[in-house]
Chains A and B, each alone.
Chain A
Amino acid sequence: MRRRFLLLLVAAGGVAAGEPDPKRQQELRSLLKNDCGACHGLTRKGGLGPPLLPESLSGKSDAMLLQTIQEGRPGTAMPPWKPFIDADETVWLIDNLLRKR
């Protein structure tokens, strides 16, 4: 229910969700670098997974990115990350890390 609400908000124009605390933000940075980076590259230039640079994601909606990160992409190697990152955190990660250099 909460996630659906967030999805709506995001779709409506990217209203900032609750920010993770600084410690958690650091964990998310590290997770992006090391664990997303395991397939997408440390510098996000891509590997077996596609590049995650801002320009490569510019055509993708926030809702699509949120869905992909939370649930994974069936039929591909992309696993669901929701056991480790909740929807609020994912929204923050998209806005503050993925969309920026």
Chain B
Amino acid sequence: MLNRLLKTSILPLLIYWLLGGACFAELRGTGDLGVVIERERGSVLIIETSTRSILGRVGKLGDLSHASVVFSRDQRYAYVFARDGGLSKIDLLQNKLVRRIEQAGNSIGGAISQDGRFIAVANYQPGGVRIFTSEALELMADIPAVYGDEQRSRVVGLVDAPGRQFVYSLFDAGEIWLLDMQDPSRIEIQKFTGIGRQPYDALLTPGGRYYLAGLFGETGLALLDLWHPEAGVKRILPDYGRHDEKLPVYKMPHLEGWAVAGNLAFVPAVGRHEVLVIDTRQWRLVKSIPVAGQPVFVMARPDGRQIWVNFAFPDNQQVQVIDAEDLTVGRTLQPGKGVLHMEFTPRGEEVWISVRDDNQILVYDTRSFQEMARLPAVTPSGIFFTARAAKTGL
């Protein structure tokens, strides 16, 4: 009798509870999730912005200094690009590493294709781009960045672009390459040479029309109009700062956080403590805004009303907020020692800031500038929210 009761009622109930605990109770979306890189531990935290909480940690991801992340288009998986060439696929719902490959010796970042099918990685060593399937991380194409006399260049500024394309820059060669993935079995490469010395990073305008590469080796920036690649790469701001002594740069700026408000773009100057404001209709300099140090990230709040800026050593304890209307610094915050990155919630009411030396992530309200939360993290650096999945060029 007891045996029968167990079999008919308690056992199914037990199974239901066990399964329920493992799956059904966790039914949820991923639109308010994200990851924070813990650079020295080689791990990432999975976070949720709605409750400002940490959901889990995934480790053994390799050397995560200068790591970056893209998301699958269903926003369930995060792809982590490690400095040591590691490429990891993480399941945000199950809080686990799905697959990790070591695809190169030294790499700088990557992108996911417009259709979500391919992951491209920019490598320093061996210099070039490798393309993998997003599903299984199987190698699909290997494109060495060869220039001159069979030399290999380091690759920077890799972004996805509309029309199933990838665009990137060759730091050592001074070239921009456009990869057409329309037919993945026959990838076409268009090369733009002589675009300027030492392109160090690049960005794509929202919507994906313009690819803009910053130059370290000379003044100005290189601009490619992807609506008219036949027109070639042109140089903008060629005379900016030409006759001035450059200040030392203790950390290279990034161009990833493209900042646009109306027709204005905001980019970090190199070797000057300024944020440059560029009119994107004429591609002319409108103003240079003096700031607290060498800018590293210059990022627009999603509505474009504010521009948030962090800085290179030795000014990396602070963050400044530029008013996009009057083009002046309206606010200076002191989040703590070693501010490395900032990420806005999808619609921008809050911003998450990583503070490396304090082992903290700070969350600010972007309207009141009130500190809303502090979360513990071990030497946090990059912060990436799943809303990036729907943005071209991020």
Question: Is there contact, CB below 8 Å, between A84 and B252?
Answer: no
List of A residues within 8 angstroms of B108 by Cβ: 47
**Residue in A30, A37, A48, A77 whose CB lies within 8 Å of B65:** A37
Q: Does B251 contact A (CB under 8 A)?
A: yes
Question: Is there contact, CB below 8 Å, between B314 and A77?
Answer: no
**Residue in B124, B249, B356 whose CB lies within 8 Å of A77:** B249
Q: Does A45 contact B (CB under 8 A)?
A: yes
Q: Which of chain A's residues has its CB closest to B314's CB?
A: A84
Question: Is there contact, CB below 8 Å, between B106 and A77?
Answer: no
**Residue in A35, A45, A72 whose CB lies within 8 Å of B84:** A45
Please, could you name 13 A-B residue pairs with CB atoms under 8 Å apart, sorted by A?
A30-B357, A37-B65, A38-B66, A38-B252, A41-B83, A42-B39, A42-B66, A43-B84, A45-B63, A46-B106, A46-B124, A47-B83, A48-B171
Query: Do A35 and B313 form a contact, CB below 8 Å, given A42-B83, A43-B63?
Result: yes
Q: Measuring CB to CB, which residues of chain A are less than 8 angstroms from any residue of chain B?
A: 30, 33-35, 37-39, 41-43, 45-48, 72, 77, 79-80, 84
Query: Do A79 and B248 form a contact, CB below 8 Å, given A42-B65, A46-B106, A84-B314?
Result: yes
Q: Measuring CB to CB, which residues of chain B are less than 8 angstroms from any residue of chain A?
A: 39-40, 63, 65-66, 83-84, 105-106, 108, 124-125, 154, 171, 200, 216, 248-252, 312-314, 338, 356-357
List of B residues within 8 angstroms of A45 by Cβ: 63, 83-84, 105-106
Nearest Cβ on chain A to B104's Cβ, whole angstroms: 12
Question: Is there contact, CB below 8 Å, between A80 and B124?
Answer: no
Query: Do A72 and B248 form a contact, CB below 8 Å, given A47-B66, A48-B154?
Result: yes
Q: Which of chain A's residues has its CB closest to B154's CB?
A: A48
Question: Is there contact, CB below 8 Å, between B356 and A34?
Answer: yes
Q: Which of chain A's residues has its CB closest to B248's CB?
A: A79
Nearest Cβ on chain B to A61's Cβ, whole angstroms: 23
Q: Which of chain B's residues has its CB closest to A31's CB?
A: B313
List of B residues within 8 angstroms of A77 by Cβ: 216, 249, 252
Q: Which of chain A's residues has its CB closest to B42's CB?
A: A42
Question: Is there contact, CB below 8 Å, between A38 and B106?
Answer: no
List of A residues within 8 angstroms of B171 by Cβ: 48
A33, A35, A84: most-surrounded residue (chain B CB, <10 A): A35
**Residue in B105, B125, B250 whose CB lies within 8 Å of A35:** B250
Q: A26 CA to B274 CA in the complex, in Å?
A: 32
Q: A29 CA to B200 CA in the complex, in Å?
A: 27
Q: A57 CA to B200 CA in the complex, in Å?
A: 25
List of A residues within 8 angstroms of B63 by Cβ: 41-43, 45
Query: Do A43 and B248 form a contact, CB below 8 Å, given A34-B338, A34-B356, A77-B216?
Result: no
Question: Is there contact, CB below 8 Å, between A48 and B106?
Answer: no
Q: A37 CA to B251 CA in the complex, in Å?
A: 9
List of B residues within 8 angstroms of A43 by Cβ: 63, 65, 83-84
Question: Is there contact, CB below 8 Å, between A38 and B250?
Answer: yes
List of A residues within 8 angstroms of B216 by Cβ: 77
Q: A37 CA to B338 CA in the complex, in Å?
A: 13
List of A residues within 8 angstroms of B65 by Cβ: 37, 41-43
Nearest Cβ on chain A to B245's Cβ, whole angstroms: 11
List of B residues within 8 angstroms of A47 by Cβ: 66, 83, 106, 108, 124
Nearest first, the 9 A-B pairs at minimum CB distance are A79-B248, A42-B65, A38-B251, A35-B313, A43-B63, A79-B250, A37-B65, A42-B63, A80-B248
